[in-house]
């Protein structure tokens, strides 16, 4: 049977452009013992993919090789199997790539419970929820009554961070790039305040929204929100550095704030990436599933259709055009 896959054939200069990719038609392979064939149904698009396309060998994960199928996570169904642990009909999540079908021996795949919709998996139980849980709960040491600011709040990770923090009794302030996103954060997700960081007077709006200062800053973007929030940090505040998307498509990263405040306020600043924490996936997925079942977590997916929609669609992440977790339904 023929299927399509998309290979990375060129590295980005600054922006992700269609000429970086080549769509190829392949033939599904014959299975050996211990192998099975996956049909991918939903493919996740994430800002980190920009980094994976770059030649940087010093990063937390090796770059995608030129000529290789582009790396991504996704949800797939087993459609043929010679592996007892993965019978036909079982559903899995894992790194599957920009492809309609993939051969697997099961390495790195997690079998999904029956009945959980694919968008709930990619929004809550997979990378966004795990990242939010790891950063906030395992590293942020949150305490009820504290104030948390999260940037990129209407995005996949940010919306999970804010809702976990609300469930844990914190005051939650989010920043996002449109009034519609801010309205969703307050009215649908129950954030205490949401600020459009593109509107004038960001510093003033943040000060009004955080009358008791900021105890935890969950950083997804960098940019002006970083400076404004850094200046509002309380003594012994914690900053979790998850992402810096404002710097992903620029030739020169923006200047960070002066370190003086780190000493004055005895701040803890912690960067993290999820590949260091894959061993905790079952435990953290279970925690996220519990919030979901308790009605404490809502999610929204921004779904594109067809494998090749990924090529242009990934840029929605960098323009703010995605409203919810960006994914492709195949």
Ligand X SMILES: NC(=O)c1ccc[n+]([C@@H]2O[C@H](COP(=O)([O-])OP(=O)(O)OC[C@H]3O[C@@H](n4cnc5c(N)ncnc54)[C@H](OP(=O)(O)O)[C@@H]3O)[C@@H](O)[C@H]2O)c1
Binding site for ligand X (CB under 6 A): 46-48, 127-128, 131, 152, 154-158, 176-178, 181, 220-221, 223, 242-246, 272-274, 317-318, 320, 322, 325
Residue 196, both tokens: 């459009």
Which residue, 104 or 322, is less far from ligand X as judged by CB?
322
Distance, CA of 73 to CA of 201 (rounded, Å): 38
Which residue, 152 or 313, is less far from ligand X as judged by CB?
152
Of the candidates 181, 127, 192, 134, which has an alpha carbon nearest to the alpha carbon of residue 156?
A: 127
Which residue, 41 or 178, is less far from ligand X as judged by CB?
178
Closest-approach residue to ligand X (CB): 155
Distance, CA of 269 to CA of 290 (rounded, Å): 29
Cα atoms in the Cβ-side hemisphere of radius 13 Å centred on 61? 18
Shortest CB 80 distance to ligand X, Å: 32
Which residue, 109 or 244, is less far from ligand X as judged by CB?
244
DSSP 135: I
Shortest CB 158 distance to ligand X, Å: 6
Shortest CB 264 distance to ligand X, Å: 26
Shortest CB 324 distance to ligand X, Å: 7
Long-range contacts of 111-120 (CB under 8 A, 24+ apart): 111/85, 111/86, 112/75, 118/41, 118/42, 118/75, 118/91, 118/329, 119/42, 119/299, 119/301, 119/303, 119/325, 119/327, 120/292, 120/299
Which residue, 32 or 254, is less far from ligand X as judged by CB?
254
Q: For the beta carbon of residue 91, count every other beta carbon within 10 angstroms.
A: 20
Q: What is the greatest pairwise CA distance in the chain? A: 64
Which residue, 178 or 234, is less far from ligand X as judged by CB?
178
3-state secondary structure of 236: strand
DSSP 125: I
Distance, CA of 286 to CA of 203 (rounded, Å): 38
Which residue, 39 or 302, is less far from ligand X as judged by CB?
302
Distance, CA of 234 to CA of 262 (rounded, Å): 10
């Amino acid at each position: 049977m023929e299927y399509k896959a998309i290979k990375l054939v060129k590295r980005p200069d600054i922006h992700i452009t269609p000429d970086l990719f080549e769509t190829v038609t392949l033939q599904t392979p014959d299975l050996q013992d211990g192998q099975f064939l996956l049909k991918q149904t939903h493919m996740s698009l994430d800002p980190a993919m920009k980094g994976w396309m770059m030649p940087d060998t010093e990063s937390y994960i090796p770059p995608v090789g030129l000529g290789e199928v582009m790396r991504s996570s996704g949800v797939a169904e087993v459609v043929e199997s010679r592996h007892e642990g993965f019978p036909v009909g079982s559903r899995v999540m894992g790194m599957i790539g920009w492809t309609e079908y993939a051969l697997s021996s099961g390495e790195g795949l997690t079998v999904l419970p029956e009945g959980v919709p694919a968008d709930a998996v990619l929004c809550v139980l997979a990378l966004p929820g795990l990242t939010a849980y790891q950063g906030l709960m395992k590293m942020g040491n949150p305490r009820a009554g504290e104030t948390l600011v999260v940037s990129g709040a209407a995005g996949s990770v940010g919306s999970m961070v804010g809702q976990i923090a609300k469930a844990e009794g914190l005051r939650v302030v989010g920043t996002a790039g449109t009034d519609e996103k801010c309205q969703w954060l307050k009215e649908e997700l129950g954030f205490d305040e949401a600020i459009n960081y593109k509107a004038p007077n960001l510093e003033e709006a943040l000060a009004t929204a955080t009358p008791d200062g900021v105890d935890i800053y969950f950083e997804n973007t960098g940019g002006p929100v970083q400076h404004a929030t850094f200046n509002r940090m309380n003594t012994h505040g914690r900053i979790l550095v998850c992402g810096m998307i404002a710097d992903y498509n620029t030739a020169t990263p923006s200047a960070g704030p002066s370190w003086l405040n780190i000493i004055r306020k005895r701040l803890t600043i912690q960067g993290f990436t999820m590949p260091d924490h894959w061993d905790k996936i079952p435990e953290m997925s279970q925690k996220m599933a519990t919030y979901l079942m308790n009605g404490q977590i809502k999610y929204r997916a921004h779904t594109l259709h067809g494998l090749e929609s990924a090529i242009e669609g990934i840029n929605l992440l960098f323009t703010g055009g995605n409203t919810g977790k960006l994914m492709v339904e195949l």
